[in-house]
Amino acid sequence: MKIAHPEQAIRRHFVPILLGAVIAISALCTSSGAAFADFRLCNNTPSRVGIALGYKDSEGWVTEGWWNINARACETLLKGTLVARYYYIYGLDYDRGGEWSGKAFMCSKDKEFTIKGTNDCLARGFDRTGYFEVDTGEQSSWTVQLSESAETSVPRAPNLPGLPNAQGSQTGTTLPPASLPPASSPAPQQ
């Protein structure tokens, strides 16, 4: 019977364990980092909402919809690190009526859609919809909070815009619903 040197025995038994631990820890770090690099929306209302999103990709402006988000729930609209500063949201309150809208007009449709370009919406058979601008300040992740009234729309620390919240992601401005779409039609930010 051959007796191994104590140092060799330690290496033989503990190196695979340490290597496994290092792999597990790096996998956790990689996956947890990716989970925070998203564009998310939280519905802080008692109603179900429908969300349309406008953003600029490598080919130009795109609008997509609809994300149906339950009351008091959050949804990831875009996965991964944000590549633009400005994103645009249009939301509908399915249960009580009302909308979250803005002055940046883009295309939408009643049914599920992905539309390239923001010009000539009506001529191309789409609706012309006012989206609300969200300035992410070029953060790598952002969360928009929808509320039901202006009184509940003021974010409180640690969830101020641009500051990491308890989960480490960036929190955006809370959007109260608007009653009427604006009349002006500025172009989306570049």
CB 75 within 8 A of CB 39: no
d(CA 16, CA 2): 22
Query: Is a pLDDT exceeding 80 seen at residue 11?
Result: no
Q: Which two tokens stand for residue 90?
A: 């249009």
What is the SS3 assignment for 8? helix
d(CA 157, CA 53): 27
d(CA 38, CA 141): 5
CA distances from 184 to 53, 93, 128, 131, 134 (A): 19, 23, 12, 12, 18
Q: Quick: pLDDT tens for 18-39.
A: 333 333 333 333 334 444 679 9
CB 141 within 8 A of CB 170: yes
- pLDDT at site 23: 36
d(CA 101, CA 86): 15
Q: Quick: pLDDT tens for 119-138.
A: 999 999 999 999 999 999 98
Give 115's strand partners.
63
Q: Which two tokens stand for residue 134?
A: 């969200």
Q: Which two tokens stand for residue 144?
A: 């928009």
Q: Quick: pLDDT tens for 51-84.
A: 999 999 989 999 999 999 999 999 999 999 998 9
- Compute φ and ψ for 90, nearest 5 degrees: -130, 130
CB 163 within 8 A of CB 84: no
pTM, entire model? 0.63
